[in-house]
A and B are shown apart, each in its own frame.
Chain A
Amino acid sequence: MGIAAQHIYKRFGDFVALDDVNLDVRSGELTALLGPSGGGKSTLLRIIGGLEDADSGSVIIDGVEATGVPAQRRNVGFVFQHYAAFKHLSVYRNVSFGLEIRKRSKAEIRNRVHELLELVHLDQFADRLPSQLSGGQRQRMALARALAVEPKVLLLDEPFGALDAKVRKELRDWLRRLHDEVHVTTVFVTHDQEEALEVSDSLVVINHGRIEQVGSPNELYDHPVNDFVMGFLGPVTELNGQLVRPHDIEVLSTDLTGSVQAKVHRLVRIGFEVRAELDAGDSQPWVQLTRGQADALELETGSVVWLRPSRDASTLVPQAGPPGAAAVNRTTVGP
């Protein structure tokens, strides 16, 4: 059940957008497709939604072969980055559009639309036009519109990409709670790793048309399979020939086993965190500390300290080959 995309291949002219991609999305989960722009994640989503045809490969939605089925008959909810609001229709009529197409009774439509508008907190705006709503409200309307037809899966293409940071954060929390209420299989595309880590049950990292890694957010953060995934999911620095997260480096005032001597080159305080840029001979790592830690160590520019990866740190030896060479391509999403 859920979604299965098998051996998807898609090119635009000479550009290979998707190169033999296999993806399984488990029913009822909230899955994020994460990657840099141009990596193929939106194309994959559009192929699942039937808005784009793959050159080869198949899509199975809820156990039913969907390859070649046009979008209008896939029963898939799609939410676009720029809302795709029907500008000449009221919020109510936007949401009821799919139900009217399905020729539901007036009473049924009214109940369903009001129920959905309540769910997205827009009930009092039912008679407004989309142009009279804020960006966040428009996107919630678009979400209600997509949910109205009770889709088998909900697909969101950079749904918060056009919103400002504060609204984006609010909507992100809200989407998570909404999903916990509605439980529809959901796939959303994002290039924001924080968004993906915070919201999703499982995460699919896509780059250069290939899936780099699939797993739970923690799995991917703690055990990235390659430099690309490690670098894309969070900050990375190099210590003693290893890649390590800057908050996973222990700063010691004495030389202990496995530590490397380093000299503080620069200290930057950003709110609650202190960033120390150091010079460790053959590498120039930076370390992320809390203010308390920095104070306890009496760090200042020029101090000599010893560095080593903390015990549970995830480290990676940088690969010589092209990024993504070790990509796992056939993986099931989820733990």
Chain B
Amino acid sequence: MSQAVAERPVRRPPRPGRPADQFRMSPLSSAGLGVAVLWLSILVLLPLAAVVAKGTGSGWAGFANAFTDSRAYDAIKLTVLASLGVSIANAVMGTVIAWVLVRDSFPGKRILEIVIDLPFALPTIVAGLVLLTLYGPNSAVAPDWQGTRPGIIVALLFVTLPFVVRTVEPVLLSLETDVEEAAASLGAGPFTTFRRIVLPAITPAVLSGSALAFGRAMGEYGSVVLISGQLEHKTEVASLYIYKQIQDDALPEAAATATVLLIISLLVMAAMGAGQYWSARRA
């Protein structure tokens, strides 16, 4: 009986990055790599290095200031916590919206597709103005959130909405529904099927979208500047604080705060990237 099914098992593909193969490249891909590294260096690495150099240039005093100065500390803490909260909210809501867009058909779906991208298309200061009209002191429909933290959260939620939706949507589209049908025929209810079959498949995309949203929220300025009211210790986000420091000619302090933001962003992105790698390996 066994020889009837003696197909050859598929071998594990060799793991990439083995020393022997790693650096063997064609001239074309070497050139490509060169251009990519150069581009990345000029646009990203050089400015980042400059910021770090500036921040630590006046010794560790300026750098430590970013932690000891309670105004800087509050601004960083607010920014990080708000960004984390917004990424988590986006992870959930973005997934729900993507699910609805992919799996359901309803009148006005095309319009919703466009509306989702609006925060990408709108200049952030315009978004800030819109939010101020809606949640500001003269609003007829909503509470006055100017100068409050909910105001900041709403602004950040607005500008980061599309990230998770747009990363999860194509993955959901590529998911075969027969996998869910198989789970159902094996006795799994809709919730179990989602948790055990769908969720593992979309987790990398959710993480990657959330990481993008987090990065965006950390640096957001335009949409927050109006609604936050810029109250020190209360609603001053890090980008506002840095801007004001520069205005006050305190460049090293600004750069030090920027460096701290940079490090936190890198750490969070790396953690999410690790999560992504881990879940993608299993998917």
Contacts and interface: CB of A to CB of B under 8 A. Distances in A.
A79 B187 CA distance: 14
B248 interface: no
Contacts of A198: none
Contacts of B188: 72, 97, 101
B9 A51 contact: no
A88 B186 contact: no
Nearest to A51: B181
A326 B192 CA distance: 48
B24 interface: no
Given A72-B188, A101-B186, A136-B7, A87 B181 contact: no
A102 interface: yes
Contacts of B7: 134, 136-137, 167, 170
Contacts of B200: 88
A39 interface: no
Contacts of B201: 87-88
Interface in B111-162: none
A85 B179 contact: yes
B1 interface: yes
Interface string B1-15: 110110111101000
Interface stretch (A171-179, A246-254, A307-315): A171-179
Interface string A84-114: 1111100000000110011000000000000
B176 interface: yes
Contacts of B189: 72
Nearest to A125: B9
A145 B10 contact: no
A215 interface: no
Contact of A149 (B2, B8, B187, B283): B187
B184 interface: yes
B222 to A, nearest CB: 40
Contacts of B184: 50-51, 70-72
Interface of A: 49-51, 70-78, 80, 82, 84-88, 97-98, 101-102, 121, 125, 129, 132-134, 136-137, 140, 142, 145-146, 148-149, 167, 170-171, 173-174, 177
Interface of B: 1-2, 4-5, 7-10, 12, 176, 178-179, 181-189, 192, 196-197, 200-201, 282-283
